[in-house]
Structure 1
Amino acid sequence: METKERAQAYLGGGCFWCMEAVFEMVPGVIDVTNGYAGGTTPQPTYQAVCTGKTGHAEVVRITYDPEQISYAELLDIFFTSHDPTTENRQGADVGPQYRSIILYQTEEEATIARQKIQEHQAYWHRPIVTEVVPLTTFWEAEEYHQDYYRNHPYNSYCQFVISPKVEKIKSHALLRQKDMIHQKHIQ
């Protein structure tokens, strides 16, 4: 049995439910797991992270096949899916846990992230404030946070916040060009 190569990317762009719903549509993405990273408190809980005192951001761990989609392409989708110019917030979600953050594992990833920030700055009137920091530890979020959009598509937050992000990404040029939307994840 042939095993496909897998890689992981760690990104935070506001609520992890939003990021998860966006990246689950992308072919080449094998799995998306919600969690916490970038902080100092070991084994953080959602309640602790929500205080803004643990230093963690809500992030997703994206497991992907680099033969189908590159790290750079994932970052293009990341920068399209949220506002990287708002510090410690995305829409009504406010606090350091909602900051824009890229957690890299290698210097190559850090270099690509910084290049993508420079490229995407041309699309924004305000400076991009996305942090680019090394990944230390990823803490998986509680089970009820996993597959949230898929499990609760009619929840008001899903309808009014997540669904518009999903629709925006469906029209992303990269995905249209490659006809790359996972239809099974679209409600």
Structure 2
Amino acid sequence: MSILKATFAGGCFWCIEASFNHLNGVIEARSGYTGGDIIEPTYEQICTGKTGHAEAVQVTYDSTKISYTELLLIFFSLHDASQLNRQGADIGSQYRSAIFFHDLEQQKIANAFILQLQTDKVFDAPIVTEVTAFLDFYLAEDHHQGYFLRNPEQLYCTAVIAPKFNRFKERFKAQLKLT
């Protein structure tokens, strides 16, 4: 077993976390904050857009069961990487698209993956995803962890997350954990 970490920001962390936690080979996906200047930021601070942090998900995975490239494929399927500092109605730098690489191999793979997406014109506009060195990750407050699964009837969950999550489950059903 080879346990590694990957860190992604693609808008609301509730959407990204819910999907990654259902993948075979993912040990854990946790919501949090990364990419900014404040130590131990709170959700309220993040929401101002002034901390430099993004809502992000840190994925702990077994690379013998799922590859970093597969994680990137899923990450790019979960959000619109051509939207600068936003995802739909969520607006601000805290909702930016970003990959925080943990080593030079992840950086190389991420850059090559983005180049291929651009070459294949997967998105209708240029990809704006940042590829940035990972520094720190601060866990979001407990009530943000597993939010979608605990609050499926909440309006944001039914209107925004559920449709994305259902498309994810259909597209990647072969990679889902057995339940």
Q: Does 1:26 align with 2:23?
A: yes
Percent of matched pairs sharing the same residue: 46
What amino acid is aligned across from residue 108 of structure 2 in structure 1? T
Structure 1 position 34, deviation (Å): 0.4
Distance 2:144 2:130 in 1: 24
> Partner of 1:61: helix, strand, or coil?
strand
What amino acid is aligned across from residue 59 of structure 1 in structure 2? A
> What corresponds to 2:76 in structure 1?
79
Counterpart of 1:181 (choices 156, 176, 179) is 176
Distance 1:59 1:11 in 2: 5
Residue-by-residue CA offset, 1:68-97 (whole Å, 9 max, x unaligned): 100010000000110000001001101100
Distance 1:154 1:119 in 2: 38
Aligned pairs (5 A) from 1:162-173: 162-172=161-171
> What corresponds to 1:112 in structure 2?
109
Residue-by-residue CA offset, 1:85-115 (whole Å, 9 max, x unaligned): 0001001101100000000011110011011
TM, length-normalised to structure 2: 0.96
> What corresponds to 1:46 in structure 2?
43
Asked if structure 2 preserves the Cα contact closer than 8 Å seen for 1:49 and 1:57, the reply is yes
Distance 2:29 2:105 in 1: 22
> Partner of 2:175: helix, strand, or coil?
coil
Distance 2:178 2:97 in 1: 27
Structure 1 position 180, deviation (Å): 1.7
Residue-by-residue CA offset, 1:142-182 (whole Å, 9 max, x unaligned): 1110010111111111111111111121232xx34xx2223
> What corresponds to 2:125 in structure 1?
126
Residue-by-residue CA offset, 1:35-70 (whole Å, 9 max, x unaligned): 000001111100001100000000000011101100
- Describe the shift of the 1:101–1:70 C-alpha distance in structure 2 as closer, same or farther (beyond 3 A): same
Structure 1 position 141, deviation (Å): 0.5
> What corresponds to 1:59 in structure 2?
56
Gaps of 5+ in 1: none
